[in-house]
Homo-oligomer: A and B are copies of this chain.
Amino acid sequence: MEGLYALDLFGTAVFAVAGALAAGRKQMDLFGVTVLSVVTALGGGTLRDLILNVPVGWTQDVTYIYVACVASIATFYSARVRRIPTQVLLYSDALGLAVFTILGAHKALALGFSPTIAIIMGVMTGVFGGMIRDVLAGEMPLILRKEIYASASLAGALLYVLTEVYFGMQWWNIVATLLIILIVRVASIRYQLELPVFRDSH
């Protein structure tokens, strides 16, 4: 399905932008920025393919690599021309999270794995790239901080897997999942929503 391929490349590009902006905060050079971007953009899909025991996507089709590099370098130079608002990092990261959650879940279902595995592969594909990005940049991963992050991906993966199992992959369940993840992420940032925190009684 061509729309799916376009969506995958789109997710790769927005995650590369998010990776480049995160790297920029650390005053890295062009190459460091590109490496962190590409790892962010391709990391989730790489782990997914390794675990699902299929060939890693970008080793079969180098377009992914070119898209990630171009998006990263374009971000690097754009930031020199005019200031990029902080929101761009948050929105591009949220968009990448949403797209990769859907694609991860879909790929697992298409390969015949159970819905539970599909939900987990959706969340893993969505969050893993950003997780290594944060670890490499020396920060505690977003996913483990108080903000709602992986929960947004989980909500989307649940919705998507349940609807794909019954109705197949349709434009409406893709759009609905994208919206759910984006809305939960944006709302959690704007209103600083939190889940209950670990509390040791004493």
Is A79 interfacial (CB 8 A cutoff)?
Answer: yes
How many copies altogether? 3
A162 vs B53: C-alpha distance in the bound complex, in angstroms?
A: 31
Across the interface, do B200 and A146 meet the contact criterion of CB distance under 8 Å? no
**Could you tell me how many residues of chain A have their Cβ less than 8 Å away from some Cβ of chain B?**
60
A52 vs B138: C-alpha distance in the bound complex, in angstroms?
A: 28
Is A62 interfacial (CB 8 A cutoff)?
Answer: yes
A141 vs B96: C-alpha distance in the bound complex, in angstroms?
A: 25
How distant is A25 from chain B, measured CB to nearest CB, in Å?
8
A50 vs B27: C-alpha distance in the bound complex, in angstroms?
A: 32
Across the interface, do B151 and A141 meet the contact criterion of CB distance under 8 Å? no
How distant is A112 from chain B, measured CB to nearest CB, in Å?
11
Across the interface, do A200 and B23 meet the contact criterion of CB distance under 8 Å? no
Segment with Cβ contacts to B, from A10-18, A170-178, A189-197? A189-197
> Which residues of A pack against B, CB within 8 Å?
20, 23-24, 26-33, 35-36, 46, 50-53, 55-56, 58-59, 62, 65, 76, 79-84, 113-114, 116-117, 120, 131, 135-138, 140-141, 143-146, 148, 150-151, 154, 194-202
Apart from A51-B56, A137-B140: 18 A-B pairs, beta carbons within 8 A: A24-B200, A28-B144, A31-B150, A31-B151, A31-B154, A32-B144, A32-B150, A35-B143, A35-B150, A36-B144, A53-B56, A58-B117, A59-B117, A79-B201, A80-B200, A135-B136, A136-B140, A136-B141
